[in-house]
Structure 1
Amino acid sequence: MVRYYGIFFQEDGQWSVRFPDAPSVNTCGETVDEAIEMAIDALSAMMVLGRKGREYGDPRGYEEIQAEAKDGELVFPVMPAEKAMEAYRPKKRINVMIPVDLLDRVGEFLKNRKGLDRSKFICNAVESHLQQNVEAH
């Protein structure tokens, strides 16, 4: 996975983050920890949604980014997260016919499963089925 270095600095009582190698990606947080989480999310969104017509080169190493940091600024490595990238994957609403009894069974199955709804369940089932077919052939 690609790693970018973010420059973290205090501004107006919060921590802001800029990425010299991805200039359109900027974010902030109230604490350094929150700023890191926001930076991971912002970088993940960029990786999935694109760079808005901008072409970026490969991210540079720590020493080059550190040389751009000003006094009091911190440099941390930031990598996109698979979970965050999944949330940004484009989705499309479609109509699908499912027998009522099957849909009821899915609903029962999902009742006590946090973080899983019918859409995610059906997407997981489709992914699993496609993967099995790829492995079988």
Structure 2
Amino acid sequence: MKKYIALIHREGDAFGVSFPDLPGCVTVGGSIEEAQALAEEALALHLEGMVEDGEAAPEPSSLDAVMTERENRDAVAVLVQAPKGVVRAVRVSVTFPEDLLQQIDAYAERNGFTRSGFLQLVAKEAMQDESRLRSAA
């Protein structure tokens, strides 16, 4: 079972998480505990996106290797378990207005997501917050 090093950084009132082995795999929580819990979800989504894009997941780096980078030394390093099995990706066809799709793609690219990875993240967040989903309907 692979475990990846996540770095938790204080960012004002929030805690940002990044994975040195997986550029673009990031999340933010209101507390260290929330950030660490969200790191597991972010890692799973990122790895699923890599599989969907036909990319192989890198081998996790050692703590020594990660900490040789000066900018990593100000963070708290935690190990995050990769999902046990890769869930098979299923291709679907959806329709979006062209301008919305362009906005989605631009946002995803700016934040290190693939289109699919971003849409999966937003869908999961919406399902976790049913009240937000109901008010949008």
Q: Give me the TM-score of the superposition, normalised by structure 1.
A: 0.53
Q: Which segments of 5 or more consecutive residues in structure 1 lack a partner in the other structure?
A: 94-137
Q: 1:3 to 1:12 in 2, by over 3 A?
A: same
SS across alignment from 1:23: coil
The alignment of Structure 1 onto Structure 2 pairs a total of residues equal to 90
Distance 2:22 2:51 in 1: 8
Letter in 2 for 1:57: P
2:18 corresponds to:
18
Q: Does residue 75 in structure 1 map to residue 77 in structure 2?
A: yes
Q: Contact 2:67–2:73 (CA<8 Å) still a contact in 1?
A: no
| Runs of 4+ with >6 A deviation | none
Q: Which has the larger radius of gyration?
A: 1
Q: Kindly state the Cα deviation for residue 45 of structure 1 after the two structures are TM-superposed.
A: 1.1
Matched residues in 1 for 2:88 and 2:58: separation?
23
Matched position secondary structure for 1:50: helix
Whole-Å separation in 1 of the counterparts to 2:51 and 2:30: 26
Q: Is 1:58–2:59 an aligned residue pair?
A: yes
Aligned-residue Cα RMSD (Å) equals: 2.9
Contact 2:50 2:57 in 1 (8 A): no
In 1, the alpha carbon distance for the partners of 2:12 and 2:52 equals 28
